[in-house]
Structure 1
Amino acid sequence: MPLKLSLKPGEKFVLNGAVVQNGDRRGVLILQNKASVLREKDIMQVEEVNSPARRVYFPVMMMYLDETSAPKVYDEFVLRLTEFMGAIRNPEIQAECVAASRHVMAKEYYKALMSARKLVDYEERLADVASGVQDRIDAG
């Protein structure tokens, strides 16, 4: 089944490890076979790996982008996922952790990445709530 990517002007993405950038107009790219594709918004740079969930996401992203690197980063993934699971109590997020682990074990790295993205989103929502509470305390 082909994958259709609709690209914004100038949008970057990674295709099988190569960074590709769309031109100055909207574009559509249709991939006819299996390839590792990651949009700019889902690419995390090393300097952005600054929280527990991001430390889970990053090695999964590396496994997805370069499957040959999977054995090198697998232990880091397991360590970071174990740390993250030890710190959370939300059953839905714990289930996402288990799903990410299962997907990694099955070498379904894109699916694992989408589960790991949910961990990052959850962590960001918690940070937003904490920030809002702190703002009310400071204003109080």
Structure 2
Amino acid sequence: MALKLSLKPGEKFVVNGAVIVNGDRRATLVLQNKASLLREKDIMQPDEVNTPVRHVYFPIMLMYMDEAGRKGYYEKFVLRMTELLGVVEDPEAKALCVAISQDVMEGEYYKALNKCKKLFVYEKERLNYVPGSVPEDTTGN
């Protein structure tokens, strides 16, 4: 099944590890075969990995984009997911963590990334975290 991609002017995306930038006009691309594709908005930079859920998302993203390095990224994912499961108390969030882990074990990295984004909402509610900001100090100091 083909994937139709509508791009804004200047929008970046990655296909199988290659960074591609759209020109100065809107464009539509159709991918006819299976490829690892992430839009700019879904790509996390190393300096953005600053919360527990982001520490889970990042190695999944790397496994999806870099087949050669998957084993090392998988080990980081397992460590971070184990840490996250150790502190998450909400049953729905725990179930989501399990579903993400299942997707990763099945090589369904894109599905895992989408499920991981749902955990960003949980994390925001629990930590009052807003991307690009420092988490609020709730200790009163």
Task: Using structure 1 for the length normalisation, give the TM-score.
Answer: 0.88
Residue 56 of structure 2 aligns with an amino acid whose one-letter code is V
Matched, 1:51 2:51: yes
Match of 1:88 in 2: 88
Pairwise CA distance, 1:24: 1.0
Q: SS of the counterpart of 1:58?
A: helix
Deviations 1:34-77 (A, max 9, x none): 00000111100001000100000000000001122111111110
Q: Do 1:8 and 1:27's aligned partners in 2 also have CA atoms closer than 8 Å?
A: yes
Superposed CA RMSD: 1.8
Pairwise CA distance, 1:4: 0.6
1:107-122 matches, cutoff 5 A: 107-122=107-122
Q: Do 1:17 and 1:66's aligned partners in 2 also have CA atoms closer than 8 Å?
A: yes
Mind listing any 5+ residue stretches in structure 2 that lack a counterpart? 130-134
More helix by share: 1
| Aligned equivalents of 2:68, 2:99: Cα separation in 1 | 22
Pairwise CA distance, 1:127: 3.3
Match of 2:132 in 1: none
Residue 115 of structure 1 aligns with an amino acid whose one-letter code is K
Match of 1:73 in 2: 73
Mind listing any 5+ residue stretches in structure 1 that lack a counterpart? none
